[in-house]
């Protein structure tokens, strides 16, 4: 694709999406109206409507060159799944016509026995069905019409990441509307809105192909620190160089054609690291969009002889990648519920939603932590470049002062001698101070939204948003229960806000989340610090969490247990693959390289010795000794890892197995790495079997 943007972006935008504009043009008026109602109000789709929509969709797709269709869904693997069927249908005269029925649009039946189900379905009854989710538009990818769908088993158990997300949005809608009603607002729908900023690394494809660890595990399992790291801080927001700029331009066009509003692109902190931020949209669509974004980041990289790394920590000692999940709630009338208002009444409504979110984060902080737990993210959370594993909320000085004033009922002095003459009764409009931002906070209020920053770059945003929607819905439901019964709404609201601020202020922290003092302070405040994935996941089925999801019909207790098993197994499998890859590289690539180089040193040593006694061979001797000693330690660490890994088979539950991988296998892997990295530093470059950090990070 050419880089000179002469094409009309507004023409490209959404050109591959069967969106409301296309529907309006192509559907009979009453069908369009009926579909619109279905989407806006989450009503079931009528069969005659589906038939007409399917036909229009097919015609549209054929015009754009599609030959196949697929029910595009999001199983528990965290990546999207698709099985393509062609539109062809044979005719009597030996030809084909292109067909697509309403039934095919609404339902598909993938043979889904190989998707993880955590024991929910025995394989013999492993048929699941997918059902069209009309709240997310169909789109064309390559020559395939993709129909976003949900994925359930025949007995109704949820098998995907989409169904619970939609249910959680429903719960939030229900309880947010109950609250808004008390403020005299009869809106039709409240949805959460998400803008997911995506970080990634871009490296030379040739380098990538030479590293089995990157290919098989997504991260480097070996690699000594390069002489230059990110300490010069020249990369962040630096000039975007030619190849990367071309890549970004093409990525933007691909995303725009899919209706994904890619808005901002820049270089990130680490060398070779970049970020893309889309314009926010409703959570359901944002989730689909983020999956597509990750897919296209990789596809487009391929076309440019690059590789896009989405792993949370591709390089040790270099910043990892995360995803910033910007969250707010919005009405169908376009009101952002986390925007501070212009007058006291609006501000009270704002404060209610603000307090509800803070309370939800405090009450269910374990669940928030769990929703971002995976093997890759364990390398980030708590390391000193990412938020810690402790969940806290950043509000900034002004808002903290405002809440203090609510708590005490007295005016307080905020930053810069700004006296906040407030109390709940006359809260002024908060000035949104863009500079007053704390980059270290895991959950930061940024003017009119919360930015949840603990997500890993590679994970689906579905889980964290199922959690966010549900926990906020839960607190709003409590608030609505209280306020609906109140004789005097205003005084009940004042009392409620004061109580909420007082009881939940422990979770508010505006300081440096990376500091050791915060870890200690958080412990004093009793905030949970679930450091590793197995530790976090063990809390997944706590009474509190099961109650939460059951109460709002998101997951049954059985579904929670099955999900916990899936996640624990996914963790163990990930570490297992990493350990096996490490062993293979250590034995078959690194060891031979060390031996070859050692032989060269020893050959030199003996050649020199053969020349006579006057030649000094102490340097060669020292080097040979160093190599041999390190190599001996290396082989020992390999043997130890092998033994440790073999013993993992004795674990008798998903939890004990995950614990074992975390506590025993990872330390054994670290030993192998440390010795290998020391060897890398003294073995001649020409013998080292794969590209080093320096080769990979500084040449795109
Ligand atoms: P930054 O955090 O880099 O300063 P912005 O504040 O402009 O950037 O926005 C970051 C992300 O937050 C963008 O993806 C943006 O679309 C998203 N965002 C802005 N408003 C909302 C909202 N009301 N709900 C959800 N996301 C939002
Ligand atoms: Mg951000």
Query: Residue 157 pLDDT more than 60?
Result: yes
Q: Which of 284, 449, 464, 465 to mutate to test the pocket of ligand 1 (most atoms within 8 A of CB)?
A: 449
Please, what is the end-to-end C-alpha distance for the chain in angstroms? 20
Overall CATH class of domain 9-156: alpha beta
Return the closest-CA partner of residue 564 out of 547, 544, 545.
545
Of 105-114, 293-302, 613-622, the range with the lowest mean pLDDT is 105-114
Q: Contact 88/541 with Cβ under 8 angstroms?
A: no
Residue tagged 């490209």 (tokens): 12
Give exposure, 303-334, as e/b (b: 16+ Cβ within 10 Å). Answer: ebebbbbbbbbbbbebbbbbbbbbbbbbbeee
Q: How wide is the angle at C-alpha 362 spanned by C-alphas 357 and 367, nearest 5°?
A: 95
How crowded is residue 209: how many other Cβ atoms within 10 Å of its Cβ? 13
Average pLDDT on 311-330 reads 95
Of 537-551, 651-665, 686-700, the range with the lowest mean pLDDT is 686-700
pLDDT, position 462:
96
Q: Contact 102/53 with Cβ under 8 angstroms?
A: yes
> Which residues make up the CATH 3.30.590.10 domain(s) of the chain?
169-555
Q: Contact 664/629 with Cβ under 8 angstroms?
A: no
Per-residue confidence at 193, pLDDT binned at 50, 70, 90? very high
Q: Which of 264, 277, 278, 322 to mutate to test the pocket of ligand 1 (most atoms within 8 A of CB)?
A: 277
- The residues, ordered by sequence, that sit 6+ positions from 199 with a Cβ below 8 Å of its Cβ are 268, 273, 274, 275, 321, 322, 323, 457
Q: Name the 3-class secondary structure at 528.
A: coil
Per-residue confidence at 302, pLDDT binned at 50, 70, 90? very high
**Domain range 169-555, its CATH number among 3.90.1150.10, 3.60.21.10, 3.30.590.10, 3.30.1360.200:** 3.30.590.10
Q: State residue 680 phi and psi, 5-degree precision.
A: -55, -35
Return the structure tokens found at 264.
Answer: 């901002």
Query: Residue 7 pLDDT more than 70?
Result: no
Q: Name the 3-class secondary structure at 336.
A: strand
pLDDT, position 113:
62
Query: Residue 147 pLDDT more than 80?
Result: yes
Q: Which of 195, 275, 396, 438 to mutate to test the pocket of ligand 1 (most atoms within 8 A of CB)?
A: 195
Q: Which residue has the higher pLDDT, 103 or 590?
A: 590
Query: Residue 326 pLDDT more than 80?
Result: yes
Of 124-128, 337-341, 344-348, the range with the lowest mean pLDDT is 124-128
Return the closest-CA partner of residue 208 out of 558, 641, 690.
690
Return the closest-CA partner of residue 531 out of 656, 375, 390.
390
ipTM > 0.90 for the complex: yes
Query: Residue 364 pLDDT more than 70?
Result: yes
Q: Which residue has the higher pLDDT, 95 or 459?
A: 459
pLDDT, position 606:
94
* Highest mean pLDDT: which range of 20-34, 263-277, 379-393: 20-34
Give exposure, 281-295, as e/b (b: 16+ Cβ within 10 Å). Answer: bbbbbbbbbbbbbbb
Query: Which residues does a 6 A CB cutoff place in the pocket of ligand 1?
Result: 193-195, 197, 277-280, 326-328, 336, 446, 448-449
Query: Residue 430 pLDDT more than 80?
Result: no
Per-residue confidence at 101, pLDDT binned at 50, 70, 90? confident
Give the residue whose CA is nearest to atom 6 of ligand 1.
446
> How far apart are the CA of 193 and the centre of ligand 1, in A?
10
Query: Residue 40 pLDDT more than 80?
Result: no
pLDDT, position 685:
94
Q: Kindly give the number of the ligand 1 atom that is closest to the alpha carbon of 278.
A: 14
Quote the CA–CA distance of 318 and 230 in Å, as a whole number.
7
pLDDT, position 211:
97
Q: Kindly give the number of the ligand 1 atom that is closest to the alpha carbon of 196.
A: 14
How crowded is residue 266: how many other Cβ atoms within 10 Å of its Cβ? 14
Average pLDDT on 477-488 reads 97
Average pLDDT on 252-271 reads 88
Question: Domain 570-697, CATH 1.20.120.1560 — does that match?
Answer: yes
Beta strands in 272-363 (DSSP E): 273-278, 281-282, 306-309, 322-331
Query: Residue 425 pLDDT more than 80?
Result: no
Q: Kindly give the number of the ligand 1 atom that is closest to the alpha carbon of 261.
A: 16
Average pLDDT on 403-417 reads 71
Quote the CA–CA distance of 85 and 66 in Å, as a whole number.
11
Query: Residue 570 pLDDT more than 60?
Result: yes
> How far apart are the CA of 452 and the centre of ligand 1, in A?
11
> How far apart are the CA of 195 and the centre of ligand 1, in A?
6
Quote the CA–CA distance of 153 and 120 in Å, as a whole number.
9
- The residues, ordered by sequence, that sit 6+ positions from 549 with a Cβ below 8 Å of its Cβ are 470, 555, 560
Query: Residue 416 pLDDT more than 70?
Result: no
Q: Kindly give the number of the ligand 1 atom that is closest to the alpha carbon of 336.
A: 23
> How far apart are the CA of 451 and the centre of ligand 2, in A?
7
Q: State residue 297 phi and psi, 5-degree precision.
A: -60, -40
> By percentage, how much of the chain surpasses pLDDT 70?
89
Average pLDDT on 351-366 reads 97
pLDDT, position 276:
95
The per-residue pLDDT of the chain, averaged, comes to 89
pLDDT, position 413:
60
Sequence length of the chain is: 700
Per-residue confidence at 229, pLDDT binned at 50, 70, 90? low
> Which residues make up the CATH 1.20.120.1560 domain(s) of the chain?
570-697
Give the residue whose CA is nearest to atom 13 of ligand 1.
195
Q: pTM to 2 decimals?
A: 0.92
* Highest mean pLDDT: which range of 130-134, 378-382, 636-640: 636-640
Q: Which residue has the higher pLDDT, 445 or 157?
A: 445
Per-residue confidence at 555, pLDDT binned at 50, 70, 90? very high
> How far apart are the CA of 168 and the centre of ligand 1, in A?
21
pLDDT, position 3:
46
Quote the CA–CA distance of 502 and 480 in Å, as a whole number.
19
Return the structure tokens found at 187.
Answer: 């809106």
pLDDT, position 124:
41
Q: Kindly give the number of the ligand 1 atom that is closest to the alpha carbon of 195.
A: 14
> Which residues make up the CATH 3.10.20.70 domain(s) of the chain?
9-156
pLDDT, position 123:
43
Query: Residue 236 pLDDT more than 60?
Result: yes
* pLDDT tens-place string over residues 503-528: 999 999 999 898 889 999 999 999 99
Average pLDDT on 466-491 reads 97
Per-residue confidence at 108, pLDDT binned at 50, 70, 90? low
């Amino acid at each position: 694709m050419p880089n000179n943007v002469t094409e009309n972006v507004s023409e490209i935008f959404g050109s591959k999406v069967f969106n409301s504009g296309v529907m309006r043009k192509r559907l009979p008026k009453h069908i369009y109206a009926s579909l619109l109602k279905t989407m806006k109000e989450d009503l079931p789709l009528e069969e005659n409507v589906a038939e007409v929509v399917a036909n229009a969709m097919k015609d549209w797709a054929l015009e754009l060159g599609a030959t196949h269709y697929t029910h595009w869904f999001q199983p528990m693997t965290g990546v999207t799944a698709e099985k393509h069927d062609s539109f062809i249908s044979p005719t009597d005269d030996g030809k084909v016509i292109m067909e697509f029925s309403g039934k095919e649009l609404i339902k598909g039946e993938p043979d889904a026995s190989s998707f993880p189900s955590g024991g929910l379905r025995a394989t013999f009854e492993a048929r699941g069905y997918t059902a069209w989710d009309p709240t997310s538009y169909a789109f064309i990818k390559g020559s395939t019409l993709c129909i976003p769908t949900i994925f359930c088993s025949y007995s109704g158990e949820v098998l995907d990441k989409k169904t619970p997300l939609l249910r959680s949005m429903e719960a939030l809608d229900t309880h947010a509307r109950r609250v808004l009603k008390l403020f005299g607002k009869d809106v039709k729908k409240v949805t959460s809105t998400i803008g997911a900023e995506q970080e990634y690394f871009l490296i030379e494809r040739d380098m990538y192909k030479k590293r089995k660890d990157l290919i098989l595990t997504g991260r480097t399992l070996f690699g000594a620190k390069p002489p230059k790291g990110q300490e010069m801080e020249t990369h962040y927001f630096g000039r975007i160089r030619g190849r990367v700029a071309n890549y970004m331009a093409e990525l933007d066009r691909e995303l725009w054609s899919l209706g994904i509003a890619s808005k901002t692109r820049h270089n990130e902190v680490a060398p070779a690291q970049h970020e893309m931020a889309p314009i926010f949209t409703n959570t359901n669509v944002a989730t689909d969009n983020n999956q597509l974004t990750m897919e296209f980041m990789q596809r487009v990289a391929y076309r440019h002889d690059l590789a896009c790394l989405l792993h949370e920590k591709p390089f040790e000692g270099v910043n990892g990648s995360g995803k910033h999940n910007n969250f707010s709630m919005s009405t169908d009338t376009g009101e952002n519920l986390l925007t501070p208002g212009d007058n006291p009444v609006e501000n009270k409504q704002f404060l209610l939603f603000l307090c509800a979110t803070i309370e939800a984060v405090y009450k269910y902080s374990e669940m928030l932590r769990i929703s971002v737990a995976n093997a890759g993210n364990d390398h980030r959370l708590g390391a000193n470049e990412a938020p810690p594993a402790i969940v806290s909320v950043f509000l900034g000085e002004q808002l903290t002062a405002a809440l203090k004033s609510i708590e005490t009922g007295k005016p307080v002095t905020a930053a810069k001698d700004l006296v906040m003459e407030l109390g709940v009764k006359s809260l002024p409009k908060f000035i949104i101070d863009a500079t007053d931002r704390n980059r270290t906070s895991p959950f930061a209020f940024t003017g009119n939204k919360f930015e949840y920053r603990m997500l890993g770059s590679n994970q689906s945003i579905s889980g964290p948003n199922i959690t966010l929607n549900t926990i906020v819905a839960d607190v709003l439901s409590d608030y609505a229960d209280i306020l609906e019964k109140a004789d005097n709404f205003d005084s009940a609201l004042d009392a409620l806000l004061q109580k909420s601020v007082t009881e939940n202020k422990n979770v508010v922290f505006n300081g440096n989340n990376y500091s050791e003092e915060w870890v200690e302070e958080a412990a004093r405040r009793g905030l949970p610090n679930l450091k590793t994935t197995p530790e976090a996941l063990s809390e997944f089925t706590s009474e509190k969490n099961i109650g939460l999801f059951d109460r709002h019909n998101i997951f049954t207790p059985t579904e929670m247990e099955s999900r916990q098993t899936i996640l624990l197994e996914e963790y163990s499998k990930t570490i297992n693959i990493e350990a096996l890859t490490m062993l293979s590289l250590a034995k078959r690539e690194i060891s031979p390289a060390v031996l070859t180089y050692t032989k060269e040193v020893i050959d030199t040593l003996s050649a020199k010795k053969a020349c006579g006694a006057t030649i000094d061979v102490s340097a060669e001797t020292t080097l040979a000794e160093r190599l041999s000693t390190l190599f001996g330690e290396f082989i020992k660490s390999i043997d130890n890892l092998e033994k440790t890994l073999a013993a993992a088979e004795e674990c008798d539950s998903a939890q004990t197995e995950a614990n074992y991988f975390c506590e025993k296998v990872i330390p054994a892997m670290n030993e192998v790495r440390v010795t290998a990295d020391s060897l890398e530093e003294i073995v001649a470059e020409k013998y080292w079997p794969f590209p080093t950090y320096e080769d990979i990070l500084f040449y795109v």
